[in-house]
Structure 1
Amino acid sequence: MGESSKALELYEKVNRIWEISLHANHPSLATSYNHIGEVYRSMGEYSKALEFHEKANKIWEISRPANHPTLATSYNNIGLLYNRMGEYSDALELHEKSLRILGISLPANRPSLATSYNNIGEVCSSMRESSKELEFNEKANKIWEISLPANRPTLATSYNNIGATYYRMSEYSKALELYEKANKIWEITLPANNPDLATSCNNIGLVYNRV
């Protein structure tokens, strides 16, 4: 929290100068608002973070082409906040806007696209829409399997998330397969006493208890 407070103080100093010296729609102001929003998000102050991310977004919507990747990032940032605040339909709308831009501007197997699919999957999970959650998490996973090393923790998290969805859908054999894939990666990449390993083993145990 201490470092975040220092960062916030410095970003606000910069912002005060730019608000005086730059015109209201200058892209540097958007960047400044975005930095302040990121700090507030890291501090868990989501309503304040939303205020600054939306200020940044308004400028970028004016100063950038409609399909610019910066806008995709901006919509994604706001979508993450809406999801944290429990406003799931708004979160989904923003993440889908972000995905549409990334789908146009990026190659099909770029990791940024996987992150976008994953974010939509998280919102669908919050909304208890398991089939949609599974669809988007599997899209993300396909990209990560191509673009990341086989033992990357991101892949383990992806397998675990898909396994959890299958578990909720009572498809226990598929859940077990995915949980075990995640566990193999975490056994290689995490210290033996890491709590995530305990959670992983517990997930596998829950499935065995069901089958």
Structure 2
Amino acid sequence: IADIEAWPQLESVYVFCRNQAAHEQWANKVPKVKGVYTKIKPICKALQIDRENCDRAMISISFNGRDALFMYTQLLKEALLEIEDDDVKSIKDLVEYCRLQDDIDEGQITKVENEYRDHTPIWWYTAETFIYPMLNRGLRQMDVDIILKMGFFIRHLHQHITELHREQKGSMPTNFQVFRGQGLSMEDFEKMKKTKGGLMSFNNFLSTSRNREISFKNFARPAALNTNSVGILFIMNIDTAICTKSSTTFAEVSKVGYYKDKEEEILFSTHAIFRIDRIERIHDNHCDRLYEVNLTIVGNDNHELNTLTAHIRKDLGGRTGWSRLGFILIKL
């Protein structure tokens, strides 16, 4: 363990043994050992939570409205949503692309190929397939191939969230809070501290929960145990009037996702914008790199943001559809 623990590509170690107490004595001294287990079910649960933590930490975040990436990603969303494709061809193109990759399970590819229309976009997004991690990676790395191949799914998922938002609007409170626990790299954490009072954007679909405890215990605290990251509990203050005015759509998805009743989940469409109100350290016996970050939804019609993107819209000229999308991707 001492040798492989030093490998930079090794993120976590899980020990499976017969004598838990004996192995915990040395395992507690090795930071990358996440736990010692004597049964398969708990280790599988731990792996599932840690995998979700990795996915959450990889979501793309832009800080400061004056950052070029921040502005262009807002326009990328608009360009993707206005394109209308042949869905049959789009699914075929995605499947062919996936079969050329060496890290995607063929069974999952076949399932998408044969069953895509049998389930809702939110079901696919929350299911254990390649859809979520691939979309996450594409939007984080601004991978043109992935963005183009998954453009149809981005539109379908946005449309599904928008439909549910309309249906649920009457039952949603005017103001409410949601929570999100995740890890941030040291670099992104420093950027966030410097942007306090400014804007930040989550450049992917944003999973949040009404349940603070689950967000903290399952995601924020475990993320802080990684020596390369900071554990963050985002507390997001939502004003539905601002969301409606700026077409920032969200929906309660616990009844329509792959996992029923999971986390009391609220899913926001891509590129939700917030103002960073407050950053405070959480005093915790388990770790000293835990922070609570208070955010307030701003919406994409914010005057400051519109002023900053005005000159980019001029550069776009009269471009529409694929031409507009291509121009933005080149800039990114």
Instruction: State the TM-score, normalized to the length of structure 1.
Output: 0.35
Q: Which has the higher strand share?
A: 2
Structure with greater contact order relative to length (CA < 8 Å, sep ≥ 6): 2
Q: Which has the higher helix share?
A: 1
Instruction: State the TM-score, normalized to the length of structure 2.
Output: 0.25
Larger radius of gyration: 2
